[in-house]
A and B are shown apart, each in its own frame.
Chain A
Amino acid sequence: MTSPAKPLLSVENLSKVYQGRQTLANRLAGVRPFSVKAVNDVSFEVRRGEVLGLIGESGCGKSTLGRAVLRLHEPTAGRVEFDGEDVTALSAGALKDMRRRMQIVFQDPYASLNPRSTVADIVGLPLRLHGLAKTTQEVRETVARILERVGLNAAHLDRYPHQFSGGQRQRIGIARALISHPEFIVCDEPVSALDVSIQAQIIQLLLELKDEMGLTYLFISHDISVIGYLSDRVAVMYLGEIVEMGPTDDVLARPRHPYTQSLMSAVPDVDAPGKHQRVRLAGELPSPLDPPTGCKFHTRCPLAIDVCRREAPISEQVAPGHQAACHRLSEDLSVRETVAGVQAR
């Protein structure tokens, strides 16, 4: 995939292994510490001004990937390049400066704000860290301005997080991410904990801010409707790997990977209930402690054949800018029709 402009973010073969510590008791018992490959050899690019949606089931590695990109979790292998600079090679000091330009909004509006700090301190912290404001007065004024922009106001400056609703806390988290004028934001399920009307308010806000401030998002969600609505391109993750990626319209309207096809068919549709032939995926995401051999989806895939159990498929292009990793792509099968055919027999 070649794009005319250089991408803002480019991730190459990124992996993250969570390694348990070896304890004496375990060593005596001959037990090896756990080792979880949460992200396995993932590559993608995000162009300036673009929203890349990242979708997948709980535990598939979305948050780990988002954090490894920012080095909030140190990657085990691979390279992250931001605006031409190798983030993975930065010293601690240089990384701190880089963080001004790369920010994150967290999933849980309850856990991600320090309960003992006021809004002024929470949102103002990046200003102090990066030396962007000199006096307390300057910090408060800057914070007040950004609060206004996210739908809160100066009267909220001296309140504590517990005095706010979930939607308001998420606005505080967004204000904190925006105050240092970043260029790139990882949005890690910023609306998943919210009611639908509040979710819509926050989505609207994030899209407006993106246009106003020229932001680029890596937007993580397990909600296909949310991703479908707001992302330009989408990457589908399964057990630590990207199995399909491409323009949102193309991927969601014509999913090529059996996993994406199954996901799409599982989404209840308020506009067309019962229209879909359901593909019932058996079982759950396998444990990443003991991932399946070959194609990691083979334990649940309705199209799995012998080779899938032995060999991992390699990602290939299926349409312009659209890639997928599956041994049976060339057969152009649809999980839905295949399952329907089997049921009809």
Chain B
Amino acid sequence: MSRNENLLEVDGLRTVFDTSEGVVRAVDGVDVTVRRGECLGVVGESGSGKSVTFSSVMGLVRSPGRIESGAIRFEGQDLTRLSTREMRAIRGRDISMTMQDALTALNPALTVGEQLSEMLDAHDDDLPARGAARRRAIRDKSVEMLRLVGIPSPDSRLGQYPHEFSGGMRQRIMIAIALAPGPKLLIADEPTTALDVTIQAQVLELISDIRARLGMSVVLITHDLGVVAEHCDRVMVMYAGQVVEEGSTVDVISNPQHPYTRGLLGSIPRLSLRGKPIRPIQGQVPNLVGLPPQCRFYSRCPERTDACLQSVEMRSVGPDRRARCIALTQEEVA
């Protein structure tokens, strides 16, 4: 694989939170690759480390959290070595992230127009240098962005505050702000989890359209495998701070290798399963403080054996396919 093909490469990321209970290993040795132009899905139950992984990429982890080790390369440049100022320039211009909760992520005290202008003012290099021409260009571009994300009568809505919009509209406004500087990578953290299906479909189609139009890469964080199936080229499954399976969406969904992925797929209620019992994964996600060095899925895994009581590494299980399960050692190693 040529190096150039990868827009983002994360190697061995460990992000921890120092809490009174001990060190929470929220992200524990995570590798991520995002290729140019692709949509990567990231799935896993809440608390599996999806948001912390990508907040780390954005340089947005705050105390008591810290990145303990790992490299984060964007177009070959290691982001962990940048100054706060250099990082701020990359964030916004090259990489944007929309946050899980649109109401709290938008500034309630500023109008939508002000928030868009701020982003454009800081990051858009194509605008006139100064003066009235610059202000007009920023306004025009703001209107254009709101129109792009399907806000009706964008002109008159620039002056409104976030609470004057519905949940779906706020998500679209966040996307507009994230897209305004024309980033190469958009990280969308659960952009539709709080939305109804009809609005969810609108927001996801919007992201897909814009991706195709602008050729950007997208990381779509979600816990809905249906959303992944419809919108992502590849998928990465996370569990308790680690990646447990990775591969093309079609492969992973049609032929899941890790027992957790199988459990997730088996937990989805389907019309076609009416009258048949679903087989939910038993138990719940383990506490991430002081985990023993064994397979993290051990306590819930229907296929566990004593051999699983050791630390388990990711292994290659086919072309472009990796999973973290001891039962997969001998088979299918590429």
Contact = CB atoms under 8 A, between A and B. Distances in A.
Contact of B46 (A195, A223, A248, A267): A195
A58 interface: yes
Interface in B249-295: 249, 253, 263-274, 277-282, 284
Interface string A11-41: 0000000000000000000000000000000
Contacts of A230: 269, 274
Contact of A273 (B199, B229, B270): B229
A273 B254 CA distance: 11
B199 A270 contact: no
A204 interface: yes
Interface in B171-206: 196-202, 204-205
Interface residues of B, number: 46
Given A268-B230, A269-B226, A270-B253, A229 B271 contact: yes
A180 B301 CA distance: 36
Contact of A228 (B167, B202, B231, B270): B270
A284 B166 contact: yes
A285 B196 CA distance: 10
B198 A262 contact: yes
A99 interface: no
Contact of A199 (B198, B205, B225, B267): B267
Interface residues of A, number: 41
Contacts of B229: 268-271, 273
A112 interface: no
B278 A203 contact: yes
B269 A225 contact: yes
Nearest to B279: A200
Contacts, number: 126
Contact of A266 (B45, B200, B268): B200
Interface stretch (A2-10, A90-98, A140-148, A274-282): A274-282
Nearest to B267: A200
B197 A224 contact: yes
A197 B271 contact: no
B237 to A, nearest CB: 12
B128 interface: no
Given A200-B269, A271-B270, A284-B166, A57 B282 contact: no
B152 interface: yes
Given A225-B268, A226-B269, A284-B166, A197 B263 contact: yes
A331 B277 CA distance: 39
Contacts of B223: 195-196
Contacts of B168: 284
A167 interface: yes
Nearest to B250: A273
B192 to A, nearest CB: 10
Contacts of A228: 269-271, 274
Given A280-B202, A281-B198, A284-B199, A268 B227 contact: yes
Interface string B210-250: 00000000000001111111110000000000000000010
A229 B278 contact: yes
Contacts of A197: 45, 263-264, 267, 280-281
A274 B231 CA distance: 9
A229 B269 contact: yes
A198 B284 contact: yes
Given A197-B280, A204-B278, A266 B264 contact: no
A271 B250 CA distance: 10
A210 B277 CA distance: 14
B103 to A, nearest CB: 14
Contacts of B282: 201
B264 A58 contact: no
B269 A203 contact: yes
Interface string A236-275: 0000000000001100100000000011001111110110
Nearest to B273: A229
Given A196-B264, A199-B267, 8 more contacts: A196-B225, A222-B197, A224-B197, A225-B269, A229-B273, A266-B198, A271-B229, A280-B205
Interface of A: 57-58, 165, 167, 195-201, 203-204, 207, 222-226, 228-230, 248-249, 252, 262-263, 266-271, 273-274, 278, 280-281, 283-285
7 contacts: A196-B264, A200-B280, A203-B269, A229-B274, A271-B272, A273-B230, A284-B198
**Which 6 pairs across A and B sit closest by C-beta, in order of nearness?**
A200-B280, A228-B271, A268-B226, A229-B269, A200-B267, A273-B229
Interface of B: 45-46, 152, 166-169, 196-202, 204-205, 223-231, 249, 253, 263-274, 277-282, 284
